[in-house]
A and B are shown apart, each in its own frame.
Chain A
Amino acid sequence: GAVVSQHPSWVICKSGTSVKIECRSLDFQATTMFWYRQFPKQSLMLMATSNEGSKATYEQGVEKDKFLINHASLTLSTLTVTSAHPEDSSFYICSARKVTGGSYEQYFGPGTRLTVT
Chain B
Amino acid sequence: AQSVTQLDSQVPVFEEAPVELRCNYSSSVSVYLFWYVQYPNQGLQLLLKYLSGSTLVKGINGFEAEFNKSQTSFHLRKPSVHISDTAEYFCAVRGANNLFFGTGTRLTVIP
Contact = CB atoms under 8 A, between A and B. Distances in A.
A74 B46 CA distance: 23
A111 to B, nearest CB: 5
Interface residues of B, number: 17
Contacts of A91: 41
Nearest to A93: B43
Contacts, number: 39
Contact of B90 (A32, A34, A44): A44
B62 to A, nearest CB: 21
Interface residues of A, number: 22
B90 A49 contact: no
A43 B90 contact: yes
Interface stretch (A14-22, A62-70, A101-109): A101-109
